[in-house]
C-alpha cells in the first residue's frame, strides 16, 4: 500500500514511522497545514493508495487566543486533504479528539452522540470533522484521547520530569478518560487505512485506552512503574484553572471500532510500561 502521512515529528507520526517506514511522511517543510492548498497539492502529486492525517494544532490553551490559526490547521487543511482524496478515490484516516464533546455525564461517549465542544481547540477539531465528512471522500474519523509516548510533550513525560525533583504533586482527579499510547493509535490507523483501501465502509469511530482512569491515578501508575517515590494529592479541576476548559468526562465507547475493524482498546498500563522502558533506555 502506497501510504501518505501528514505529520513527521508528532507522537503518532513518529510511531507510524516505526511500523510503516515505507510510507511517505510530510512534515511542515513539505506540506504546511497552515497552507491547505499545499496539502491538497501534495496528495495529487503523490497519488497515494491511502492518506493518514496525523498532524494537527494541539496547543489547547493557545487555541483560545489563536482560534483562527488553529481553525486553518485543524479544519481547513483536513478539508482540503479530504477533497483531494475524493478526487483521487483514495481513503483518508483523520485523527480527532474527545474534546469535541462537552464532558458532561459519566457515560462513555458513542460516535453518534451530539458534539458540543467547550473550548476553541474542540471547536476547530469538530470543524475539521465536518469538512472531512462533507468532502465525499471515503474516510474514517478516529477520535482518541490522552495521547502519550516517549516523544513530544505529553502527560507522562511531564509527570516524570516533575517527579524527578518533587516528593508531592497535586493532580486533577475529577477528569476521567482513557490514556492512549501513540503506538496503539498508529497501529489502528494502519489497520483502518488498509481496510478502507480494500473497500471497508468508513465513518466516525472512537479509540482510547482501557481501563478508564483519572489524571491523578494515571500519575500514580506512572510513578509506580518508573520507581519514583512521589505522592499524588487529588485536586479538582476548579483548583487547577487553565485558559481552555477541559471536559470532566472523556470516556470513549470503542465498541463500534472493535465490531467494524477488529481493533480492541489497548491496555494503557502496558503501553505505559513500554514508554517508560524506552525513556529509561534513551
pLDDT digits (tens, 9 = 90+) for 3-14: 999 999 999 999
Does residue 168 form part of some domain?
no
Residue 62 placed within a domain = yes
Q: How many CA atoms lie within 13 A of 125 on its CB side?
A: 30
Asked if the structure places residue 147 within a domain, the reply is: yes
Does 134 reside within a domain? yes
The parent domain of residue 144 ranges over: 3-153+180-208+251-269
CATH of the domain at 192: 3.40.50.720
Catalytically annotated residue among 6, 25, 121, 146:
121
pTM score of the predicted model: 0.97
How many independent structural domains does the chain possess?
A: 1
What pLDDT band is residue 281 in, cutting at 50, 70 and 90? Answer: confident
Catalytic, 121? Answer yes
Span 124-136, average pLDDT: 98
In 3D space, the residue among 204, 207, 230 whose CA is nearest the CA of residue 218 turns out to be 230
Amino acid at each position: 500500500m502506497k501510504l501518505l502521512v501528514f505529520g513527521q515529528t508528532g507522537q503518532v507520526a513518529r510511531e507510524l514511522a516505526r511500523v510503516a517506514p515505507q510510507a511517505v511522511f510530510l512534515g511542515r517543510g513539505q506540506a504546511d497545514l497552515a497552507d491547505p492548498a499545499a496539502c491538497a497539492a501534495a496528495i495529487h502529486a503523490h497519488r497515494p493508495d491511502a492518506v493518514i492525517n496525523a498532524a494537527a494544532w494541539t496547543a489547547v490553551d493557545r487555541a483560545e487566543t489563536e482560534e483562527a490559526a488553529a481553525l486553518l490547521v485543524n479544519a481547513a487543511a483536513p478539508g482540503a486533504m479530504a477533497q483531494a482524496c475524493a478526487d483521487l478515490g483514495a481513503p483518508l484516516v483523520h485523527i480527532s479528539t474527545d474534546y469535541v464533546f462537552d464532558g458532561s455525564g459519566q457515560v462513555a461517549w458513542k460516535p453518534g452522540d451530539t458534539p458540543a465542544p467547550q473550548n476553541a481547540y474542540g471547536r476547530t477539531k469538530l470543524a475539521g470533522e465536518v469538512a472531512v465528512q462533507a468532502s465525499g471522500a471515503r474516510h474514517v474519523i478516529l477520535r482518541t484521547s490522552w495521547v502519550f509516548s516517549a516523544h513530544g510533550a505529553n502527560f507522562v513525560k511531564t509527570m516524570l520530569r516533575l517527579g524527578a525533583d518533587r516528593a508531592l504533586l497535586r493532580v486533577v482527579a475529577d477528569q476521567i478518560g482513557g490514556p492512549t499510547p501513540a503506538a496503539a493509535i498508529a497501529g489502528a490507523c494502519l489497520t483502518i487505512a488498509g481496510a478502507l483501501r480494500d473497500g471497508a465502509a468508513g465513518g466516525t469511530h472512537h479509540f482510547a485506552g482501557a481501563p478508564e482512569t483519572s489524571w491523578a491515578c494515571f500519575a500514580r501508575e506512572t510513578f509506580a512503574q518508573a520507581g519514583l517515590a512521589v505522592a499524588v494529592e487529588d485536586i479538582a479541576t476548579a483548583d487547577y484553572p487553565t485558559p481552555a476548559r477541559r471536559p470532566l468526562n472523556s470516556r470513549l465507547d470503542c465498541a463500534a471500532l472493535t465490531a467494524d475493524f477488529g481493533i480492541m482498546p489497548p491496555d494503557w498500563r502496558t503501553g505505559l510500561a513500554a514508554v517508560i522502558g524506552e525513556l529509561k533506555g534513551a
